Each structure stands twice: as C-alpha cells, then as structure tokens.
C-alpha cells in the first residue's frame, strides 16, 4: 500500500474509533427497522454519493442492468449500490473496497438484506484487482476515481477484468474546464493531496487510451444540485445515516461539495464506455 493509498483509506475510516461497537450499533438500528430490509430503508446510510439512491437508480437505468449480469462494484463502500443492483435487477455483484471497516459493514447489511447469494465484498486495491482476465460483464463505479492519481492504470485494470464487449459505467466528480481550486474538505478528501480530478475531455481521452470506446457522457450536475436542495433536516441522533460512519465532519464536507458545484468548481458526470 502506497502512502497516498493509506491516507485515502484512513480518511474514510477516520471517525470509526471502535469497529465492533459501530457494527453493533448498526445491527441494532437495522434490526429495529420494519421489514423488509431493502435499499429504500438503508439509503440514508449506504448510498454515499451525491444524489443518493435516486442517482443510483437513474444511473442503473442509463447503463441497462440485466438479471445474471456479473458486475464489479469498484470502490463499493458500504455496499448500497451493489445491493440495489442485486435487489432490483438480479445482478451478481462483487464489491471491492480499500477500507476494511466499510467491507465489514457492507457484509453485515447484505446479510440483513438476505442478498448474500448475489452480493459479496472484499478488501482490495483497485489498481490490482483479485480477479481473472475477462471475468465481468460490467465495472460499476460511483465517486471513486477522484481518489486515484494513476487514472490510466486504473482504467487499464478495469479493461483487463472485463469480457470483450463488456462495459465500464462511471459516475464521478470532474474538474471544471477552467481548473479552479476546490474548497476542502470534501467527502472524498481532506486536502488536494488525495484528490485527482480530470476534466470531461481528459476523462474521455484516458479511458479511450485504456481500450474503451466512450459511448455516453452526461453532465448531471443540475440534477444532483436539485436533489441536494431537496434534502430535509439532518437525521435525528441515533437514526441510521451516513454520519454514523463519517462522524461530525460529514456536515462540513457535504456543504463544501455543494458549494463547489454551485460555484462551478466541479461537475458531476455519468458515463458509459465499451471495452474494445
């Protein structure tokens, strides 16, 4: 693990002082839910990206998920999108994430949702995935690539594990063309040291150089900002929500993300590329 990768891992786990206590707290909250335990009921906890569950659903519709599809959720976090794809479409999803505490939570929630026959998670580095060549139909990633400086290497690794004709689906923050600096901290980084944003054109170029044909690039910034403005007051203390994982710093990071979008420092893009 490189020093930069360790900083990224530690950033996401910084507010987790006692992993076992957190797992017990989440277990208690989930067991208190009215059944069934599903994507809608878990969304405030496990859809850790701008737009929440609505963005995941819209993204899945763009991509076109089919039953039985072999999907890699690259940077799977707490597993919300992976469970949604399995629950809604019957996809088989392998999730890989850098943070072991996130993997443990994702496993717990998947068991509670009764989806272990379709979804599994493991700790790992996206730069060196533990899968054979040409294994997956789809690589799915949301708000992950901006933590990885070697973007060319990342997309080559995605291309390696995709079947011929497989697809890469990505929903990422991207740099504005003017390259203004961001206001930190943001949900993915405390400082610019572990934040690498490419412009839309740069993203297209590096993906195509890795062996893909980009078939769709949709700027969804306005839709995401509309979602952010519609969010109600923060969840009550003890309620199941992302602040259980991220801690008190969640409010500042989320506010800065929205401000960066409002001030056109960053864009949000959903894209699809086919392996060639």
CA 271 to chain centre: 14
Beta bridge partners of 216: 272
CB 86 within 8 A of CB 39: no
d(CA 66, CA 70): 9
Tally of domains within the chain: 1
3-state secondary structure the chain: CCHHHHHHHHHHHCCCCCHHHHHHHHHHHHHCCCCCCCHHHHHHHHCCCCCHHHHHHHHHHHHCCCCCCEEEEECCCCCHHHHHHHHHHCCEEEEEECCHHHHHHHHHHHHHCCCCCCEEEEECCCCCCCCCCCCEEEEEEECCHHHCCCHHHHHHHHHHHEEEEEEEEEEEEEECCCCCCCCCCECCECCHHHCCCCCHHHHHHHHHHCCEEEEEEEECHHHHHHHHHHCCCCCCCCCCCCHHHHCCCHHHHHHHHHHHHHCCCEEEEEEEEEEC
What is the average pLDDT value for the chain, to the nearest integer? 94
CATH of the domain at 258: 3.40.50.150
First vs last Cα of the chain: how many Å apart? 30
Q: Is the pLDDT of residue 120 over 70?
A: yes
Band (pLDDT 50/70/90 cuts) for residue 238 is: low
The pLDDT tens digits of the residues spanning 32-52 come to 999 999 999 999 999 989 999
- Write out pLDDT tens, residues 49-96: 999 999 999 999 999 999 999 999 999 999 999 999 999 999 999 999
C-alpha angle 56-58-59 in degrees, rounded to nearest 5 = 65
Above 90 in pLDDT, residue 133? yes
The parent domain of residue 71 ranges over 3-275
pTM: 0.94
What is the pLDDT, as a whole number, of residue 232? 54
Cα 56 from Cα 36, distance rounded (Å) = 20
Give pLDDT, residue 218. 96
């Amino acid at each position: 693990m490189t020093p930069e990768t360790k900083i990224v891992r530690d950033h996401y786990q910084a507010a987790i002082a006692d992993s076992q206590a957190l797992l017990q707290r989440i277990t208690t909250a989930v067991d208190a839910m009215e059944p069934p335990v599903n994507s809608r009921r878990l969304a405030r906890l496990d859809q850790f990206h701008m737009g929440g569950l609505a963005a995941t659903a819209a993204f899945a519709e763009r991509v076109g998920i089919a039953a039985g599809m072999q999907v890699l959720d690259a940077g799977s976090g707490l597993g919300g999108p992976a469970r949604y794809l399995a629950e809604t479409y019957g996809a088989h999803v392998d999730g890989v994430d850098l943070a072991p505490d996130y993997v443990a939570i994702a496993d717990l929630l998947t068991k509670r949702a009764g989806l272990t026959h379709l979804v599994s998670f493991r700790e790992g580095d996206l730069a060196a995935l533990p899968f054979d060549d040409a294994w997956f139909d789809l690589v799915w990633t949301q708000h992950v690539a901006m933590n990885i400086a070697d973007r060319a290497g990342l997309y080559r690794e995605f291309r390696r594990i995709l079947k011929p004709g497989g697809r890469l689906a990505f929903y990422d923050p991207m740099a504005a063309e003017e390259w203004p600096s961001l206001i930190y901290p943001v949900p993915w980084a405390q400082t610019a040291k572990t934040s690498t944003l490419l412009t839309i054109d740069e993203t297209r170029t590096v993906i195509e150089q890795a062996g893909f044909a980009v078939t769709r690039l949709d700027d969804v910034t306005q839709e995401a900002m509309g979602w952010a403005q519609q969010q109600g007051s923060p969840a009550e203390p003890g309620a199941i929500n992302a602040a259980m994982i991220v801690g008190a710093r969640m409010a500042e990071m989320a506010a800065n993300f929205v401000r960066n979008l409002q001030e056109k420092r960053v864009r949000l893009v959903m894209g699809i590329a086919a392996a060639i």
